[in-house]
């Protein structure tokens, strides 16, 4: 931020520039404004959402005053240091002794992931998944002079300050339909408004709007042209860049194994009925994750990265386990810090919470950075196997296929068993085929006989 007087503006008009968000990135995409020209803002009030490193981050106002000009539009890519907004300041942040705080950043955000305390096992988190500062309240709605001048604007400002939690896709659809998220009940994690909520919304108390059409009312959408063009932005743009880097810089290979995991399926069925897993959704993924973590302890070369500048292979003796999550915004890979320290119960809780948070748009940059090994589960889509690309900065990625009942030879007889296919893609610069095969066979062995896995933890 800086005084804009040198640009011919009054000395009281301050300019807020996109700050360095601490990720080594040079730009961010403006997702939405939460203020408009003429609005009064308070110190640390959320004024805009930007997307960077696949996370939505709320920018707080570094000073209090009235918005004079918005210098970027939603969808614009803004360089770090470029001006975002001009505010006629009432009280600069430097004069108050308070500092603005970027939500999702700072010392706390750079540590481990936001792990739920064990006492809250099976209970939904109460934090907002919308990543925003403490609600500033309605104090300015009581300013008599302002209300007298602009009663409707002050009313809208008061409601807008208490911004409803919503997924980015829901916000975009609501803007297109002219709906106010404040009047829509959310059914997502933490009460976040989802796309389905917006589509079925019928605002009953929103002023100045008698009836608003919903998507269902509009009838079938018929394209006016034979082709449709969608701007490459946000997560799609960043995913494309990461995958292009992966394909260009990493010589990749893959190997597969088919596994009789009947014993694992039976174990999971048993654990679901126990007190320890009450209120938890136990799927095969946490057990596969625990098997992978145990195998990484035996084969640490699979948990490494290639340092091109130093010409060194960096082997990591901790696992920040990435879990690929399909969201409405695209593919996200948040990771569980120090996953090797967790029990099966803790992994179940963390994976479930991390996936729900990512789908709701609440994953922080800290949770999306620093992964060392990734698991992707294509089986949830009914797919038997896949060949995923290795994430840059990692050595390998494990792929879990669907678990189906199939004919299988057991002690020279055909039997119906639960069977799945595991695959691993790896960076052939630092992982040889033998190492990858032995790692994968070990994971398969744990799933064939999960009691040997549980005996190690």
Q: Which residues participate in catalysis according to the annotation?
A: 428
**Token pair of 84, please?**
């975002």
For residue 167, what are its two tokens? Answer: 């997924």
DSSP secondary structure letter of residue 457: -
3-state SS string for 247-278: HHHCCEEEEEEEEECHHHHHHHHHHHCCHHHC
Quick one: tokens of 10?
A: 């009054």
DSSP string, 166-181: B-HHHHHHHHHHT--G
Is residue 300 within 8 A of residue 144, CB to CB? The reply is no
32 neighbors 105 (Cβ within 8 angstroms): no
E-strand stretches of 191-297: 252-260
- Give Cα 130 distance to the centre of its chain: 11
Q: Which of 266, 267, 320 is nearest to 289 (CA)?
A: 320
Region label for 109, one of left (φ > 0), alpha (ψ between -120 and 50) or beta (otherwise): alpha
Q: Are 114 and 127 in contact (CB under 8 A)?
A: yes
Whether 331 contacts 325, CB under 8 Å: yes
CB under 8 Å to 2, separation ≥6 — which residues? 14, 15, 17
CB 70 within 8 A of CB 37: yes
In whole angstroms, give the CA distance from residue 403 to residue 268.
13
Hey, what long-range contacts does 294-300 have (CB within 8 A, 24 or more apart)?
294/442, 294/446, 294/453, 294/456, 294/457, 295/439, 295/442, 295/443, 295/446, 296/340, 296/373, 296/439, 297/340, 298/439, 298/442, 299/435, 299/438, 299/439, 299/442
């Amino acid at each position: 931020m800086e005084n804009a007087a040198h640009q011919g503006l009054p000395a009281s008009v301050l300019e807020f520039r996109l700050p360095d968000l601490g990720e080594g990135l040079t730009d961010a995409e403006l997702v939405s404004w939460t203020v408009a020209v003429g609005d009064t803002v308070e110190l640390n009030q959320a004024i805009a959402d930007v997307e960077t490193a696949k996370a939505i981050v709320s920018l707080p106002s570094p000073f209090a005053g009235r918005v004079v000009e918005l210098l970027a539009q939603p969808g614009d890519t803004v360089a770090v240091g470029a001006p975002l907004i001009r505010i006629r300041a009432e009280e600069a942040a430097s004069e108050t002794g308070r500092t603005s705080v970027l939500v999702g950043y700072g010392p706390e955000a750079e540590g481990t992931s936001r792990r739920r305390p064990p006492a809250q096992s099976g209970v939904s988190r109460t934090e907002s998944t919308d990543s925003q500062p403490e609600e500033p309240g309605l104090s300015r709605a009581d300013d008599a002079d302002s209300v007298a001048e602009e009663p409707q604007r002050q009313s809208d400002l008061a409601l807008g300050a208490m911004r409803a939690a919503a997924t980015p896709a829901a916000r975009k659809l609501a803007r297109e339909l002219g709906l106010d998220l404040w009047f829509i009940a959310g059914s997502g994690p933490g009460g976040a408004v989802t796309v389905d909520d917006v589509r079925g919304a019928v605002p009953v108390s929103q002023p100045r709007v008698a009836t608003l059409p919903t998507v269902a009312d509009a009838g079938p959408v018929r394209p006016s042209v034979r082709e449709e063009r969608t701007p490459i932005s946000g997560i799609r743009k960043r995913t494309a860049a990461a995958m292009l880097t992966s394909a260009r810089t990493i010589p990749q290979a893959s190997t597969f194994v088919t596994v009789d995991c009947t014993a694992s399926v039976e174990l999971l069925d048993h654990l679901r009925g126990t007190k320890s897993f009450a209120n938890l959704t136990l799927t095969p993924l946490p057990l596969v994750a625990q098997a992978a973590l145990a195998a990484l302890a035996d084969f640490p070369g699979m948990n490494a990265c290639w340092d091109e500048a130093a010409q060194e292979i960096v082997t990591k003796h901790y696992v920040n386990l990435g879990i690929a999550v399909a969201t409405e915004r695209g593919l996200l890979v948040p990771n569980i810090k120090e996953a090797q320290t967790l029990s099966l119960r803790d992994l179940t809780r963390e994976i479930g919470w991390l996936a729900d948070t990512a789908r709701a748009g609440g994953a922080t940059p800290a949770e999306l950075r620093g992964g060392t090994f990734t698991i992707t589960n294509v089986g949830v889509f009914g797919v038997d196997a896949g060949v995923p690309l290795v994430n840059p900065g990692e050595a390998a990625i494990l792929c879990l296929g669907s678990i189906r009942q199939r004919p299988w030879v057991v002690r020279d007889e055909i039997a119906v068993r639960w069977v799945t296919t595991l695959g691993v893609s790896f960076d052939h610069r630092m992982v040889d085929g033998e190492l990858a095969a032995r790692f994968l066979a070990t994971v398969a062995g744990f799933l064939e006989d999960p009691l040997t896995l549980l005996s190690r933890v």
